[in-house]
Chain A
Amino acid sequence: IAGITQAPTSQILAAGRRMTLRCTQDMRHNAMYWYRQDLGLGLRLIHYSNTAGTTGKGEVPDGYSVSRANTDDFPLTLASAVPSQTSVYFCASSDGGTTDTQYFGPGTRLTVL
């Protein structure tokens, strides 16, 4: 693994189903983030984690949950998917240095029918 990986690459999901999007980084970054990206809108922060064992809510957290059991993994769960959660989901991590630059995974394209 080099950088950040996400799985699955894409998924079609029936409304009401539970879904977990996976994110793993091997850069030993403390902070991790989940964003959604919708056409015509900027990236919107769903949840974040500044360090293992802690999580926080972003701009659009409703309907989503996260956990951070260790440094490397930051899964995002949709407990009961709805069509408005159709989006591209990006996981990111940051190095916490002077610039705190965020580095992104390849994304998961999720369609909820």
Chain B
Amino acid sequence: GQNIDQPTEMTATEGAIVQINCTYQTSGFNGLFWYQQHAGEAPTFLSYNVLDGLEEKGRFSSFLSRSKGYSYLLLKELQMKDSASYLCAGMDSNYQLIWGAGTKLIIKP
């Protein structure tokens, strides 16, 4: 079956670094997405990885290892506005997204 696993909740301190992990099992693989979702709002696109390695985009970076079925989202210099849920999604062979339940990130001052 297809499955995405990520931690339910994480807590970090303002100004620090946090890594949110995601493991995936999909039928075929056409990339791994990360979205940010603030409470009561729509998910917004953060990053896409299809090749192994690290993609850096400002304070946010995303890593993929296809052989391990593993990805992480790295957030640096945390700000209070980064408090949100982070959704991991794998794209299968039919180009459909399989979604994890999301990781709620709580930032403390």
* Number of A-B pairs, beta carbon distance below 8 Å: 43
CB contact between B42 and one of A44, A101, A107 (< 8 Å): that residue: A107
Complex CA distance for A112 and B5, rounded to whole angstroms? 30
* Interface status of A40 (Cβ within 8 A of chain B): yes
Does A1 sit at the interface, judged by CB under 8 A? no
Taking a contact as CB atoms under 8 Å apart, the answer to whether A101 and B33 are in contact is yes
CA distance A41 to B97 in the complex (A): 14
* 1/0 contact string of A78-113 vs chain B (CB within 8 Å): 000000000000100000000111111111000000
- Chain A contributes a number of interface residues (CB within 8 A of B) equal to 18
* Chain B CB within 8 A of A34 CB: no
Q: Please determine whether B44 and A42 come into contact, CB atoms closer than 8 angstroms.
A: no
Task: Given A103-B45, A106-B42, decide whether A48 and B96 contact each other with a Cβ distance below 8 A.
Answer: yes
In the assembled complex, which residues on chain B have CB atoms less than 8 Å from the CB atom of A90? 42-43
Q: Which of B4, B30, B43, B102 contacts A104 (CB 8 A)?
A: B43
Q: Check A101–B43 contact: CB distance below 8 A.
A: no
Distance in angstroms between the alpha carbons of A92 and B103 in the assembled complex: 21
Q: Find chain A residues with CB under 8 A from B97 CB.
A: 43, 45, 102
Q: State in angstroms the CA–CA spacing of A90 and B40 once bound together.
A: 12
B48 within 8 A of A: yes
List residues of chain A with CB within 8 A of the CB of B41. 106-107
| A44–B100 alpha-carbon span in the complex (Å) | 10
Bound form: Cα–Cα A40–B102 in Å: 8
Q: What residues of chain B lie closer than 8 Å to A106, measured between beta carbons? A: 41-42
User: Which B residue's beta carbon lies closest to that of A39?
Assistant: B101
B4 smallest CB distance to A (angstroms): 7
Write the nearest CB–CB distance from B76 to chain A, whole angstroms: 23
Contact B42 A42 (CB under 8 A): no
Which residues from chain A sit less than 8 Å from chain B, CB to CB?
40-45, 48, 58, 90, 99-107
Q: List 15 A-B contacts (CB under 8 A).
A: A42-B4, A43-B43, A43-B87, A43-B89, A43-B97, A43-B99, A45-B96, A90-B42, A100-B95, A101-B33, A102-B45, A102-B97, A104-B44, A105-B42, A106-B42
